[in-house]
């Protein structure tokens, strides 16, 4: 059976929609986890900061697909049952959290204590110093690396295939099993990932240029 592009593309796009949802969920969860871990590593006293470092290293040290299997196949034995989509979003979020914590930690540390001290010295309180001085810079400095993490999460949603999420790759595989047109269909899938990744990095680059601190640093990748 030979299917035309018009007839299978809607199914691929439906899969891509789930890919987008997984990417958004994974990045958002990863942002919360990553920001928390970064703050804990920098600002919490021992041993809390060491715990945060250990968590971050564990999250970055396990293959994503193993995290998926642990959550989707393993957790039910501990009484926690998640849908494939939820399990995938959680797994992506945990792994991305480990990497995002590295990004934020690097940015926060590169700003240094001097500017916060200067803010305190003119009578700003700590929270206002962080809000007005530290965070606006940390966010801007994080954009290039975060843009890369965005594309990594986007592409790695394809591993959710393994636990049965009907994202882009899974949809494609289903169609291939019917039509036996692997070259054509996987090329279309590759093109969709590629274009999506390109749009993300271009958009993030525009954001970087728009908000970069004049006189500092080079361009985003």
Partner 1 sequence: MTDYLLRVEDVYKKFGSKDILKGASLNMSKGETKVIIGPSGAGKSTLLRCINLLVKPDSGRIFLGDEEITGKHVNLSHIRSEIGFVFQHFNLFMHLSALENVRLGLVKVKKMRNEEAESKATRALRDVGIQDELFGHYPAQLSGGQQQRVAIARATAMEPKIILLDEPTSALDPELIGEVLRVMEQLAQSRTTMLAVTHEIGFAKNVADEIIFMDNGAVLETGPPTQLLSNPKEERTRRFLGKITELYGVSRTEK
Nearer to partner 1, 61 or 215 (CB): 215
- Cβ proximity to partner 1, 23 vs 107, nearer residue: 107
Closest to partner 1 by CB, 131 or 202: 131
Q: 134 near 111, Cβ under 8 Å?
A: yes
Quick one: DSSP state of residue 44?
S
Distance in Å, CB of 139 to partner 1, minimum: 10
What is the C-alpha to C-alpha distance for residues 62 and 59, in angstroms, rounded to an integer?
6
Nearest distance, CB of residue 125 and partner 1, angstroms: 5
CB closer to partner 1 out of 215 and 219: 215
Distance in Å, CB of 104 to partner 1, minimum: 16
Smallest separation (angstroms) from partner 1 to the CB of 50: 19
What's the distance, Cα to Cα, between the start and end of the chain in Å? 43
Tokens describing residue 141: 């400095």
Which residues form the interface with partner 1 (CB under 8 A)?
Answer: 111, 114-115, 117-125, 128, 132-133, 136-137, 140, 213-216
Q: In which element (H, E) is residue 137 found?
A: helix 135-156
Cβ neighbours around 21 below 10 Å, total:
16
Please report which helix (H) or strand (E) contains residue 106, including its range: helix 84-111
């Amino acid at each position: 059976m030979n299917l035309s592009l018009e007839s299978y593309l809607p199914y691929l796009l439906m899969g891509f929609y789930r890919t987008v949802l997984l990417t958004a969920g994974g990045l958002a969860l990863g942002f919360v986890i990553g920001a928390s871990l970064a703050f804990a590593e920098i600002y919490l006293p021992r041993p809390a900061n060491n715990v945060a470092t250990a968590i971050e290293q564990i999250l970055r040290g396990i293959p994503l697909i193993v995290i998926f299997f642990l959550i989707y196949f393993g957790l039910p034995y501990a009484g926690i049952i998640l849908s494939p989509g939820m399990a995938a979003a959680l797994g992506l979020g945990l792994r991305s959290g480990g990497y995002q914590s590295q990004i934020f930690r690097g940015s926060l540390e590169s700003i240094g204590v001097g500017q916060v001290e200067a803010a305190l010295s003119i009578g700003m309180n700590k929270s206002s110093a962080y809000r007005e001085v530290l965070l606006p810079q940390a966010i801007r400095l994080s954009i290039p690396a975060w843009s890369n993490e965005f594309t990594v999460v986007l592409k790695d949603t394809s591993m959710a295939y393994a636990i049965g999420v009907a994202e882009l790759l899974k949809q494609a595989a289903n169609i291939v099993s019917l039509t036996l047109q692997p070259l054509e269909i996987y090329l279309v899938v590759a093109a969709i990932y590629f274009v999506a990744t390109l749009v993300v990095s271009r958009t993030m680059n525009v954001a970087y240029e728009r908000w970069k601190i004049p006189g500092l640093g080079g361009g985003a990748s």
